[in-house]
Structure 1
């Protein structure tokens, strides 16, 4: 054991040092299970943790949902999401962390990823660069806790890339030096399978690294061509092995992220490049750096000294030095020059978290540092130390005198940075004695640990986190509702959620809520929601503002509504503060089916189902933005074959409008109001009394979002989702009493534009009549899974088509009475197909497009790789 530890302690420390340092910080911050806080913040709390819950549920209960899920908005392919969010082998550990314990699972996996990043980089240093003893864990800790890792701790899905990059580079060395292919192909293929997005960045870097390697170790054209062939062919084999994921993911991206690819860009610097210097200071990170900041480049003083030493040391030959300089210039330009920045991000500007590839720049710097420190035996000559000191002084002076431009920089962190700079320079220049030779590596290692921990502490202390209660409380309430619903109705249906923790609650709890947040959301879905009057964005949709028509046509069979806080006072167990996303008094039209301590479950008696017999007029339904109630009218008319003149919504007048600190206007819709006195608050009060027993709806144009006005219903703030880019529909009241409804718009700015501001009354009886007509000829499911739906339908007229509210994908195959029929897209969104009159059994089956082609390519590539490995072993 003693001999084993003596031989392997550098790699052991490379793993355990980052783990223990981060564990100490997590305990200090009180992250669950060590306290009342959690590691959840920003996207980790609002998106990723729900994907992890979905992944756990899918593995344990419904594996086919890895291919397709109806909890993805209205339904959609999941293989693209899995390839981006979920295929890390670390995620398998979530199986052991149900419900509220997911946060503990996140913390454990983060610790393991920090440790594994240190370990794999340590292996590269030991096996390929031949470093030894304390220098391995020192540089490995610099790598594992570099600024990029700390800043992107909340982006757990990206942290596999720094783990696999050293393995791939190490295997590339063996490929080029020993002509052994297996490790390189398998590690690169694994990265492509785990996260294609980060793998793309690594592939770009491999081209640069290969160019540097060939320049540094060039020994003739014959060998160059041989190694170029090996590099290209084995890289392509890696792509081939991962084809079973990459090919169907490509088909998915074509309809989602691929539609946002930038086709034009400007050739300019995105900011003054010298500002990057501020990111080498301890603690150079805060919340404001997330949406739009500078690259995260902190690597610690030791690594920076090594980078400078690489270019000033005479022991390193000019050829590798020149190649390294050119690669470094390219990487530096990539961090600030727009065309290159776009190239690294797949020709799409990142939404938040800019310069995501900067982990590669940090790897490159620490790699060069390791080469330089090894060649110079971890010792600086006085003139080299002075050069480094001069560079540090110049850089910190720039940051100090421009500190007002960097809100994450203070005099204290500049002083700490300078202190570590000087201490490490002193240790590296100390005179060699037998005692110093033994102590210097240990002192360097300890200084690196303290510096990287200081950066971690200052950086992450700038970020706020969800408490464990804020995650666990709503999670428990949603799980209770899901359990109640399953007991109430085990069938296949959608459920509107009028409260939420996140937009991905449905995904996390298998609820099919119609809301969703993902980077790989198909573009047609937010486009459809924009027409329907629901909040939408490039990567999210929220089904919060339903009407009787949209609820029924989209098969929102149940609605989950949070009880008023006044009701919860009576219940000692009701302590969870739920986020109400929508006020829907029209739930009074539905049947109350169940209750929990905090919620009510209503059933919509008019829900039509996922498929129904519709008039062929539905094929001609046109796209219509910013007129959501007109679009819903047109949809119901087209589906039922009703005359185009049939109306379900009628404009209603306000009884009284009160203008305070703004001029009175007669026509409200489209009116533009300004404050009369800019120093005083302004508001408009709208009053009306319902005259019939019909529900009323209010439309708000995009200019009336939460940034322009605060809306009140009576004396309470109106609960609605306040971010939207198209006109949305609200439901301020439903009749049943003679109470006056009062809506107030309080200006947030000096002006207010009442864009598409109209109050409507719905003709409830006519809507119910039309919905019952569709219900009679709806698809009655007999078997339903995530990828296969079978049911019966009775088509009573000859001019009908089979319409669904299943989002269109080439992966859906339809059969009528066992015979295949051709599907097409209706409403620019859904699956539809022709069907004859009579009673039919209809089956829809989903297979991810490209899956079988990908599997064949993967199998062929695997056979080739192992055949080559056998030949290389015998050679």
Structure 2
């Protein structure tokens, strides 16, 4: 007598295999590559190592220690709403697995998370095939493994946040079929709603595809116009219901995007092909992926030879009605045009060109191809011999085209092309032989096992060749800096529990602060508000569309931005053994800050000039203008407007170099904005700038965008200048402090035939004057008595007229301010920060944050869920009543 578990295992054996087969394949590869916890390497590479792993650490910290981070965090650059970040990066239910992996073991959790998603993708596709009776038995893992290990999944293994889409897609498709055939709507609404909550970006792509799939499915099953309109109504109304169910995330995220990604929407569209369309054929070859394909490559389309053959034979298979195949062909043409025609490409990406990882929707194309292949290669109904022959001819043409143009494809070798041809030939021979002999029914199971064996080897080979083309962080490269940062964070939180920012002189990534609870001013996210990089660019710090790095502070910006502490890596001479921490920037200004703690690898300093997050400023600050590529003027104007100081006062004074030595370079008298050229292009060229400070003040050098690491290598006193490598606006570099009468030598080595000294100016800061001005500001800073991530309260005393409350909290309509118990209007100052008017005298201030439109979204989602529950209860009641009557 069989027990229930035995029956369950027998009944679902193929589904279980579909889950574990991709897991076993990829686990074997990870063990072979010695990925942690099986060795010294890790899965961290590119954005997974530089961005997502820090978001995962933030996820754990928020859920386990500080839930208020869900709505707002001062670890997001200078502070910002987090709901949009959660919606894009962290709403996957799979992330809950990471709660069991603290500290350096987080990389092991990422491996488990990755393997689980591989398995669930295979299981979801097998579930679709089984429930729709397209395939059964051993054929389920045959197609599901091709799906789980398709080229898109392998290439985007490092983009864990997108992989859920490939898991949800087959389930949503099945629920759509159920909606059309049986009128069952709850599963469709819940699954599509959950996908939109999980990741609205990939969910949007799935929504577009659902329209195409609905058209195809209705064409296949068309009966009459009455049923068509009924199904259309169900599809539209239930899809809108799913969107309403996800409104709690979608509505506030939409308005958040208007300040971030929405600012970069493509305004002009070119009706052109982005590349020669035939080139995408190269992506059906084994191992057709490498690092160069990440920033600007072709769509990842590898699905294995069997799926490709099945897809090709579908269109000439007379078992399917002509109208079905014609509609499928139209949809296929549309999908493939989307992979190369700019307007359609932009449509799938929300009218924004992707920054790296192009054609992110290609998982949908792969799903469509494998789905049609599974439909065509049904057990006991193999394609006819001539159909297989036609597929072989087309496949041969593909191989020939790639071979003829192999030099154009850096990601393909003759070895991988030969393997592809071999697997294709073997699969075609097996299909052709059994089709020709007419023994399909008798030997179909054997055929399935043979095809499964070949497919496993082929998709495994693709995974190995593709992933071997990437380099990965070692476990130590992640764990050692992360452990040091956690120790520093814990030390500071023990010493000082107030609200402040902490500057970094060493770093692992731009999201160190987010991962470790440090308000570091740096940040990297696709949903970063545009005003933040604009501000960083104006104060002389590196910025981009999706990142900022506070690495180039001055005494002025450090103080006004409340950089109360700085953490620096010790010099190699102070460390026993090798120093594993990498310095981010030069910071001689630390000599004027107070050392407060030290450990084996780092030192921590307190900035005595740091000013609170809010302070009283003159009303002139409201009218302050923007200064792009002139950070010296911006910081001067900022401090002067706060204190109502005359415009003639100078904090920075330009200083000449004492000596300039040109080596293999044409000499120039005026250096700033001069273009220097090599005299002999076959020889190295460099310029040596020397100066001796006459005071112990701070000295700063401004560097225009042409002086980044692509064009020049800079040395300070014969050591490589510590400076963030890329910047698009002029930056300020601190090169001396307390160095009176000590010669400073700066060397610029050319990387190209010429070098433009864009905004290349040396400045001396009047430290005494600046500290005097900052002391005035500190007298009227807010005294914070209570604070959390989304609220703070305190007192401030206003002694003069025409004063405002100025803060360095980024402006958002989500911030609500009560002044002496009454709500007041806020406004934006400096194009970035929160400000409001202040009366003279003593004022009590309360600031609280609530995500804009979150309440409305929550109401819509709640009402939608209530309607679904009432509908389910009503349906159950009617069903029970009918049973009683019967």
TM-score, normalised to structure 2, is 0.97
Aligned match of 2:853 in 847, 850, 861? 850
Equivalences for residues 526-545 of structure 1 within 5 A: 526-545=533-552
Matched, 1:254 2:258: yes
1:565 equivalent in structure 2: 572
State the partner residue of 1:461: 468
* 1:640-655 correspondence to structure 2 within 5 Å: 640-655=643-658
The 5 A counterparts of 1:461-860 are 461-568=468-575, 571-572=576-577, 575-860=578-863
Residue 279 of structure 1 corresponds to which residue in structure 2? Answer: 283
CA 1:765–1:263: 2 relative to 1, 3 Å: same
The alpha-carbon deviation at position 422 of structure 1 amounts to: 1.6
- Which region of structure 1 is more displaced relative to structure 2, 43-52 or 299-308? 299-308
Matched, 1:416 2:419: yes
Matched, 1:396 2:399: yes
Provide the secondary structure at the position in 1 that maps to 2:292.
helix
Greater mean alpha carbon deviation, residues 418-427 or residues 66-75: 418-427
In structure 2, distance between residues paired with 1:499 and 1:258: 32
Asked if residue 300 in structure 1 is aligned to residue 304 in structure 2, the reply is: yes
Per-residue CA deviation, residues 662-707 of structure 1 (Å, 9 max, x unaligned), is 1221111111111111111111111111101211111011111111
**Once the two structures are superposed, what CA deviation does each residue of 1:232-255 show, in whole Å capped at 9, x if it has no partner?**
000000000100001110111000
Shift of 1:442: 1.4
Distance in 2, matches of 1:395 and 1:426, equals 17
In 2, the alpha carbon distance for the partners of 1:151 and 1:18 equals 15
Aligned residues: 870
Tell me the SS of whatever aligns to 1:579.
coil
Instruction: Decide which of 335, 356, 363 is 2:360's aligned counterpart.
Output: 356
Does residue 1:89 correspond to 2:98, yes or no?
no
- After TM superposition, the structure 1 = structure 2 runs for residues 195-214 of structure 1, keeping only pairs within 5 Å, are 195-214=199-218
Alpha-carbon distance, 1:513 to partner = 0.2
In the TM superposition, residue 124 of structure 1 has moved relative to its aligned partner by 0.4
Q: 2:223 aligns with which of 219, 234, 238?
A: 219
Q: Which residue of 1 aligns with 2:13?
A: 9
> 1:327 aligns to what?
331
Q: CA deviation at 1:378?
A: 4.8
Are the counterparts in 2 of residues 120 and 167 from structure 1 also a CA contact under 8 Å?
yes
Residue ranges of structure 2 left out of the alignment (5+ in a row): 880-886
What residue number does 2:192 align with? 188
| 1:436 aligned partner | 443
Q: Does 1:48 align with 2:61?
A: no
Deviation at 1:158, TM superposition (A): 0.1
Is contact 1:18-1:118 (8 Å) kept? yes
Q: Is the 8 A contact 1:691 1:735 kept in 2?
A: no
Could you say which residue in structure 1 is the equivalent of 2:882?
Answer: none
Q: Tell whether the 8 Å contact from 2:120 to 2:167 is kept in structure 1 after alignment.
A: yes
Matched, 1:107 2:111: yes
Q: Give the TM-score, by structure 1 length.
A: 0.98
Q: 2:318 aligns with which of 314, 320, 324?
A: 314
Structure 2 contact 245–864 (Cα < 8 Å) conserved? yes
Matched with 2:238 is 234
Q: Confirm whether residue 344 of structure 1 aligns to residue 351 of structure 2.
A: no
Deviations, residues 508-549 of structure 1 (Å, cap 9, x unaligned): 001000000000000000000010000000000000010000
C-alpha separation between the residues in 1 aligned to 2:407 and 2:217? 42
Q: Does the 8 A contact of 2:380 with 2:441 survive in 1?
A: no
Distance, in Å, in 1 between the alignment partners of 2:584 and 2:747 is 18
C-alpha deviation, 1:872, in angstroms: 5.0
- Corresponding residue of 1:133: 137
For the 8 Å contact 2:376–2:382, the answer to whether it is kept is no
C-alpha change, 1:252 and 1:434, in structure 2 (3 Å) is closer
Moved over 4 A (4+): 870-873
1:479 is displaced (CA, Å) by 1.0
Superposed displacement of residue 314, structure 1: 1.1
CA drift at 1:420: 1.1
Q: What's the offset of the Cα at 1:866?
A: 2.7
User: Contact 1:182/1:866 (CA < 8 Å) preserved in 2?
Assistant: no
1:155 is aligned to: 159
CA separation of 1:614/1:405 partners in 2, compared to 1, >3 Å: closer, same or farther? Answer: same
Q: Could you tell me which residue of structure 1 aligns to residue 884 of structure 2?
A: none
Note the alpha carbon deviations across 1:546-576, whole angstroms, 9 max, x for none: 00000000000001111111222xx24xx44
Rounded to whole Å, the distance in 1 between the matches of 2:58 and 2:602 is 23
Does structure 2 conserve the Cα–Cα contact (< 8 Å) formed by 1:473 and 1:576? no
Q: Distance in 1 between matches of 2:357 and 2:789?
A: 33
Residue of structure 2 equivalent to 1:58: 62
1:580 match: secondary structure? coil
Given that 2:694 and 2:740 are in contact with CA atoms closer than 8 Å, whether structure 1 keeps it comes out as no
CA shift, 1:870, in A, is 4.2
Once the two structures are superposed, residues 371-424 of structure 1 have per-residue CA deviations (whole angstroms, 9 ceiling, x without a partner) of 1112x7352322122111111111100001110011111111111111111211
Post-superposition CA distance 1:796-855 (Å, at most 9, x none)? 112110000000000000011111010000000000000111111111100000100001
Aligned to 1:117: 121
* 1: CA distance, partners of 2:260 / 2:83: 12
Residue pair 1:11, 1:137 contacting (<8 A) in 2 also = yes
Deviates more, 1:57-66 or 1:420-429: 420-429
Distance 2:660 2:133 in 1: 77
**Partner SS, residue 19 of structure 1:** helix
Report the secondary structure of 2:801's partner residue: coil
Partner of residue 883, structure 2: none
Displacement of 1:434: 7.4
CA–CA distance in structure 2, aligned partners of residues 86 and 523 of structure 1: 21
Q: Is the 2:380–2:444 Cα contact (8 Å) retained in structure 1?
A: no
Query: What are the superposed Cα offsets for residues 258-297 of structure 1, whole Å, 9 maximum, x if unpaired?
Result: 0000010110111111111110011110000000000000
The unaligned stretches of length 5 or more in structure 1 are: none
2:374 maps to 1:370: yes
Is the Cα–Cα contact under 8 Å of residues 129 and 371 in structure 1 kept in the other structure?
A: no
- Which secondary structure state, in structure 1, belongs to the residue aligned with residue 377 of structure 2? helix
Aligned partner of residue 805 in structure 2, secondary structure:
strand
Whole-Å Cα distance in 2 between the matches of residues 232 and 460 of structure 1? 41
2:264/2:352 contact within 8 Å kept = yes
Distance 1:69 1:871 in 2: 43
Provide the rounded CA distance (Å) in 2 between the counterparts of 1:360 and 1:433. 31
Q: Is the contact between residue 317 and residue 383 of structure 2 (CA under 8 Å) also seen in structure 1?
A: no
Aligned to 1:865: 868
Q: 8 Å contact 2:785–2:794 — kept in the other structure?
A: yes
User: Is 147-156 or 412-421 further displaced after alignment?
Assistant: 412-421
Alpha-carbon shift at residue 324 of structure 1 (Å): 0.3
Bigger shift: residues 381-390 or 60-69: 381-390
Determine helix, strand or coil for the equivalent of 1:407: coil
Structure 2 counterpart SS, 1:465: coil
Quick check: 478-487 or 356-365, which moved more? 478-487
